[in-house]
Amino acid sequence: MSRITRLHVRRLSARMPRPWVPASPDLHLIIVTVHDDEGNLGTGFSWTPTIGASAVTALLSDDITRFAVGREADAAILWPALWTHLHEAGGGGVTTIAMAGLDLALWDLQTRRSGLGLATALGRRHDRLPVYGSGVNLHYPLDELVAQVQRWIERGIDAVKVKVGLSDLADDVARVAAVRAALGPDRALMIDANQRWDVPTARTALERLSEFDLAWIEEPLRSDDTAGYRALAEAISVPIALGENLHTIHRFREVLDAGFAAVVQPNVVRVGGITPFLEICSLAAGRGIDVAPHLLPDLSAQLAISLDQLCWVEDVEDAGFEALGVLAAPSPVQIRGAEATVTEAPGLGLTFADTTPDHSEESS
């Protein structure tokens, strides 16, 4: 097995066509290139949609580089050792987000060395995946929200997700009612509260919103409120989805053991990369719980197409890497209408641009 000789770390930021948070219009990637002593290289990335890019960059450039150089270029071997090394700085969050950059780079290196694309290396189980339309749209006026839903319908999409959690429940009810009216009775509707509620607020809200035939309520409570989720699940009929803000397999195991999650949504970067992501999906499959990977379809779809269960791909409007202008070559994941397909490209198949029109920072 070859050994790591160098890590190159740089920041890449892009102005979002539809900012998720009006006050933070840029999305940030931290691009990591790993070199080994046989002349191979692989490129991965970490991701922070609003804050934390400087902290992730520093952790990668400093502690992670010093730990990784000289070690075997094998993601499965390196990941647990690196997690143990970084645990004093936090068991998850910035640590696992930073770890993802190296883990993805090592997977890219390993699969490129084998001459395969990631999906093929993992073993394709599906030819195509269903897509659901997802909007970070709580700040949209009602007419703009409905117009977004109409665009999804015109694409042939059969499932959509919209944000809830406004200060006045009547406004949430009006918006969800308008979306359901646009969708009709036969398309799936999910809502996402992004951790805005406590248990009493969630119970009250879902008593009203459940009349709109909801496929799930996503993150109604803070992600670490296990007792609250257990109590809420006993009080409501709407299935609960969560996982984008769970950072370790231990937290996913805790949630699955508690029995309140109908759907888990690991984010491949936030959990620390492909290595732990696959372990989490295996854990969920063993419990009979559905997986719906969170965001990052340019990578998530490559992983989902290798899972035994058929997963939805989350497609946030104008948020794919090509739409953001951060790729120098086409993405291996192609979303057309209501389906995603994965083309064969070496490694992760992602070639990042050197710069973006907005701003880019580099460090080694």
Using DSSP, state whether 210 is helix, strand or coil.
Answer: helix
Q: How far apart are CA 118 and CA 110, in angstroms?
A: 9
- Is the distance from CB of 102 to CB of 64 less than 8 angstroms? yes
Query: Please, how many CA atoms are within 13 Å of residue 178, restricted to the half-sphere of its CB?
Result: 19
8: annotated active-site residue = no
Catalytic residue among 28, 161, 163, 247: 163
Q: From 6, 4, 52, 3, select the one nearest 30 (Cα to Cα).
A: 52
Q: Which amino acid does the sequence have at 162?
A: V
Per the structure block, which two tokens stand in for 236?
């409501």
Per the structure block, which two tokens stand in for 323?
């739409």
Q: How far apart are CA 166 and CA 171, in angstroms?
A: 7
87: annotated active-site residue = no
- Is the distance from CB of 100 to CB of 60 less than 8 angstroms? no
Query: Please, how many CA atoms are within 13 Å of residue 199, restricted to the half-sphere of its CB?
Result: 12
E-strand spans in the chain? 4-15, 26-36, 41-48, 129-134, 159-163, 188-192, 214-218, 240-242, 263-264, 290-291, 313-316, 333-336, 339-342, 359-363
Catalytic residue among 8, 161, 247, 294: 294
Q: How far apart are CA 251 and CA 280, in angstroms?
A: 10
Q: How far apart are CA 96 and CA 266, in angstroms?
A: 12
Q: How far apart are CA 363 and CA 360, in angstroms?
A: 10
**Phi, psi torsion values for 360, nearest 5 degrees:** -145, 140
Show which residues are catalytic: 163, 294
